[in-house]
Each structure stands twice: as C-alpha cells, then as structure tokens.
Structure 1
Amino acid sequence: MKRQKLYISIAVMCAVLLLGGAGGSAAWKQTAAGRKYTTSSGKYVKSRWKKIKKKWYYFDKRGNLKTGRFKVGDDWYYATRSAGRVCNRRVGCYYYGSDGRMVCDAWKKNGKYWFYYDKKGKRRFGKVKTTEGICYCERETGKAVSKWVNKNYYGKDGVMVTSQWVDDSYVNEKGVITRGNKNPKNPPTQEEIRWLSAITYLEAGNQSYYGKKCVASVVMNRVNSKRFPNTIKGVLFQSGQFTPAGNGTLSSLYYSRRSIQTQCVKAAKYVLEHGSVLKGYYYFNTFSGTLKIGEHYFG
C-alpha cells in the first residue's frame, strides 16, 4: 500500500513539472510575414513596445517588428534590428530625441551648435521663421548663427534683431540696416543740425556739395566711433581737434541769429539722415592725407 502511494506521488510530481514547462520561453521568430517575438506564454507581442535585452522594439497589430522610420500614434520613430529604437541621434535629415520620438517644430542642440527642425521633422537651412522669431541656419550645415548675414543681424539667441542699435548701425523693424546713423523714429534735433551745419560751413563753406558732405561725414564717423565722444557737440569741442571750436568762431556762429549757408545745412541733414558718405575716415586737413577731395585731405 505504501509503495502504491509512492508511485502515485511521483506521477503527480512529474505531471506538475510537465505542465509547468509547457509554455516554453520567450523568443524571436522569423515568419513569412515578418520578424515576430513570442512571450513565455507562446503569444506574439502586438501593437505595443517591448523591452528586449535592454533595447526597445515596436510590433504592429499583426505582431511584425517595425524597423526603419515608422509612425506610432502622432509620433515618428526610427528603429533597427540590432539596436532597437534610436535615441539622441540624427538619421538622414531627421533627429530623434531622448525618448526616441522625432523632433518636430523645435530646436535641438547637437554638440555646441543648435539646429532647427520644422513641423515635418526636417532640418531647416537658411532663413527660418520660428515661434521665437526669424532665425538663420547655415545653408551648408544647418547650424544656427549669431552674426551679420547680408543686411540682417542675428543675436546671441539666434533671433534676428529689429528696431535697435547693433554696434554703429541701426536696424529697423524689418531687421534691415537703415542708411542713416539714427533711429528713423528719432530724427536729428535742430541742435544737432545747426552744430553740424556750422562746422561744415566754417571748414568747407567754399567746397563743393560733396566736399561739404565729406567734412560732415568725418564728424559723424567720430560720433559713431568708440574712440571719440558720442555727441556732435562733444566731438567738435574735444580739445585740439577743430580750429573753429578752439578760437570761438564755432560758438559765435551757432549762437548767433545768422542763417547758415543753405548747401551746408543740406549737407549736414543728408549725413544725419542717410549716413556717412566717407566711411572709415576720421580726420581732414589742407596739407596731407590718404584721400584728397577739393582742398581737403582725408585720413
């Protein structure tokens, strides 16, 4: 009787062991339809992500492994058989972030440089309109720039600068450099016009109209240079610079009620409103210089 019970117990244990191992182990399976993955229960993984040996893979509704570029819901991904889901990497003109999703309508930093990807996930080149403003990405590489490009300036944040000064130039609301030295919304004052007209008359009253504009331009070149005072009056009365300022004739003319020669006023207004006609020149005299215009040498 005892021996019979022992046989029954052994039989039950064997049955349990056999049933417990009936499901098998999870494994890859290549089928005519595609590559699939079976769980320990023998079922295919379908319509979801599955982590296999520390790598993420996606299987469609039929259980087939998705590779290459594919869409899940509203997001695009890229995966390979060997590496699974691609993360923090550019593939072609697309970039896939830390969660594997394709970057769309956003900036992405890669190394030290920033790149912009549009709503379709493609890297953009040239002038780009973003939520931050208009930016510029190099046409060869796509790197965002912080510098002058043609007539526009792009700041440290990569956005095109508008309605402000950049170094010695003023850019308007469209981001384009204005021809003048002043913000067009703040035209030259009567005081500035009279001071510049007065020095132009006293230094070049007998010169051609162009010669008058050149003399006025030297004054404004100094105003816009960090090496000199930043106002017309400050430049004119800087010690030892302009003879009429030193001998009192400039102040005498400025404060008198006398009208100043029309062509000198016209030349002063032109330079104030349209900018210097002689960029890079800061001196003039009647005896030596690198450029001679009328009776003046400029340097």
Structure 2
Amino acid sequence: MKKIILAALLCVTSTLYIGYSVVFANNEFVYDSIMCQQNEEMLIERKANIHMKNEVINGLITNYRNGFDISRKERHVLERIVEAEAGGENISGKLLVANVVLNRVESKDFPNSVSKVVFAHSGGTYQFSPVANGRYYSVKVSKETKNAVRRALSGEDNSGGALYFAARRYADPGNMSWFDRCLDYLFSYGCHEFYDK
C-alpha cells in the first residue's frame, strides 16, 4: 500500500514539475516575444524620426535617445548588475544605474558591450564591486529591475551622461578620493552619487 501511495505521489509531483517547467518556459517565450515587439516598435519610431520631449521624473531630467538592440544574454547581464548595484533603490535609481552602463557602452573610453563593461577590471580591480564581491552572481532580479532595464534599453535616459557612480557611505575612502579628484560630480540620487569625466 505504501508503494502505491508513494508511486501516486511521485506521479503527481512529476506532473506538477513538468507543468511548472512548461509554464516557466512559456513565460520566458512570452517575455521575449513582448521584448521583440517593443524593439520593432522602437525601430519604427526611429525610422519615422519620432522623438519624445524631455521631461522631469522623480526630480531627474529624463531624455529620450535611440534604443539599444542587445542580445538576451547581454540584457540578463545588465539586469543582474542593476539588481546588484541598485536593488534597494526605486525604479529611477535602477534606471540610472542601467543608463550609466549603457553610457559606457557608447563611450569610446570603455568597452563596447554590456558584458565587457560589467566585467571590466584593471590590475585585479573590477569596475563594479558586486562582480568583485560575488553579489552579482547571487541576486534574484526583480520585476521592477527588469522594467527599469527595459526602459533604459528603449532609450529612456535619466543619467545626464554620467559614466560613473558610487555609494559614498559604502565605498572605500581611497576610491572616493579618486572620484573627488579625477571626476566631475553631477548629482546625487538615492544612495548613489553620479559623475562624469
């Protein structure tokens, strides 16, 4: 009798797991389909030379630029670094971090892909502390972070051209000294300060 109950329980559990896997796979497919449709709409807007006006959102001037067409893998890298760096921030704070990474991708002074920017290091020092301390690899990306990344990739830019950011209260004083000496302070938002060269 115990064997029959155990066999029935295993069948039900397997069915639930397979059903969950199919639903999860379908959700990933639906998400990718929506992203593809949004990218197509952005391309149509670009071809028609449609531009949205700048506006102020959460006290930040938000500009609209051409969107970014990146691979799914690159999008996941961007989502993870935004979650690791700004998981406790509101959506504007997350959008800021995403845009700093994208600003670097566009800058001649940095690598030209999201992955290369996020994993860049010099002399053993990584550009993004969550990569160095491993937090990048352990975060669970929230829906809000995915939304912020989607908005940044579609061209919504609230960064004012910032190429650097730091959380002064958590940063090494030596690193912050370099920020203060070598970079131009732009503004603060949430727990981050934003800079340009």
Aligned residues: 120
Partner of 1:294: 190
> CA separation in 1, counterparts of 2:129 and 2:79?
15
> Which has the larger Rg?
1
Deviations 1:175-222 (A, max 9, x none): 56783332xxxx443212211111111111111111110111111100
Shift of 1:173: 2.9
- 8 Å contact kept, 2:67–2:153: yes
Deviations 1:154-192 (A, max 9, x none): xxxxxxxxxxxxxxxxx933456783332xxxx443212
- 8 Å contact kept, 1:236–1:242: yes
Shift of 1:279: 3.1
Partner of 1:172: 46
Structure with the larger strand share: 1
Match status 1:233 vs 2:115: yes
Partner of 1:212: 94
Deviations 1:54-101 (A, max 9, x none): xxxxxxxxxxxxxxxxxxxxxxxxxxxxxxxxxxxxxxxxxxxxxxxx
Unaligned runs of 5+ in 1: 1-170, 254-258
Structure with the larger helix share: 2
Q: Which has the higher contact order (CA 8 A, sep 6+)?
A: 2
Match status 1:285 vs 2:166: yes
What's the % identity of the aligned pairs? Answer: 31
- 8 Å contact kept, 2:167–2:191: yes
* Change beyond 3 A, Cα 1:295–1:229: same
Q: Which shifted more, 288-297 or 201-210?
A: 288-297
1:200 counterpart SS class:
helix
Matches within 5 A, 1:37-186: 172-174=46-48, 179-182=65-68
2:157 counterpart SS class:
coil
Unaligned runs of 5+ in 2: 1-44, 52-63, 169-175, 177-184
Partner of 2:144: 263
1:234 counterpart SS class:
helix
> CA separation in 1, counterparts of 2:147 and 2:46?
24
Counterpart of 2:134, as a letter, is G
Shift of 1:265: 0.9
**TM-score, normalised on structure 1?**
0.37
Match status 1:246 vs 2:132: yes
